[in-house]
């Protein structure tokens, strides 16, 4: 993703100018504390989309302030958006910084893996608590979209916590096993037989 696709989606709803796009994006993601997109990023995205013919200038709005260029999505833009909707989104759970930290802690013998798990667990519980407090302040009758995102984060945290428990229970076993090493390939020209 792709502020790019979000911009296309918002323009598919109706033509807007850059400032409006940023505000609309922020509203969808639940505030700039969740995902802060700088105005400059919106404008460069619009410029790139325009260059590729996915959006086009629709009109210019001129009131008291500086003039505002209003953009609309083109037929090609709708096509690109269609492709995005048709495609699935890959998850990224294999790229996990804590996992790398734990493995390196085990390999390098530089950190106590139990301590690493403990520190991480504390942090995850604090995050879960913060989310729980946030969720209790959101009105499910009006802000269900916000709750969906909070719930997703909370469910991921729960899974991470379960995984930490399981990992801790298996630490002694994993220490007995060799850790993954790269395959060693012979260097130079293969020997003649």
User: Which residues here bind another protein, judged by CB under 8 A?
Assistant: 1-2, 29-30, 33-35, 118, 121-123, 125-132, 134, 136, 149-150, 152-154, 156-158, 161-162
User: In terms of CB distance, is 6 or 74 closer to another protein?
Assistant: 6
Q: Closest approach of Cβ 168 to another protein, in Å?
A: 10
Q: Closest approach of Cβ 11 to another protein, in Å?
A: 19
User: In terms of CB distance, is 76 or 119 closer to another protein?
Assistant: 119
Q: Closest approach of Cβ 27 to another protein, in Å?
A: 12
Distance CA 171, CA 181 (A): 18
User: In terms of CB distance, is 48 or 129 closer to another protein?
Assistant: 129
User: In terms of CB distance, is 61 or 165 closer to another protein?
Assistant: 165
Q: First-to-last CA distance in the chain?
A: 52
Distance CA 121, CA 168 (A): 11
Residues 85/128, Cβ–Cβ less than 8 Å: no
Q: Looking up tokens 């792709």, which residue turns up?
A: 2
Residues 179/106, Cβ–Cβ less than 8 Å: yes
């Amino acid at each position: 993703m792709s502020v790019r696709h979000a911009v296309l989606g918002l323009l598919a709803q109706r033509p807007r100018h850059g400032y409006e796009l940023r505000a609309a994006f922020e509203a969808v993601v639940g505030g700039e504390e969740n995902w802060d997109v700088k105005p400059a990023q919106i404008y460069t995205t619009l410029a790139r989309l325009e260059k590729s013919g996915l959006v086009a200038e629709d009109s210019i709005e001129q009131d008291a302030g500086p003039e505002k260029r209003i953009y609309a999505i083109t037929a090609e833009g709708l096509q690109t958006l269609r492709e995005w909707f048709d495609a699935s989104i890959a998850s990224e759970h294999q790229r996990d910084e804590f996992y790398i930290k734990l493995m390196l802690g085990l390999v390098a013998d530089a950190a106590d893996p139990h301590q690493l798990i403990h520190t991480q667990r504390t942090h995850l519980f604090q995050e879960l608590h913060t989310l729980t407090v946030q969720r209790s302040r959101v009105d499910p009758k009006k802000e269900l979209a916000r709750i969906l995102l909070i719930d997703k984060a909370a469910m991921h945290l729960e899974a991470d916590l379960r995984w930490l428990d399981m990992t801790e229970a298996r630490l002694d076993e994993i220490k007995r096993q060799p850790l993954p090493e790269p395959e060693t390939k012979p260097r130079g020209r293969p020997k003649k037989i």
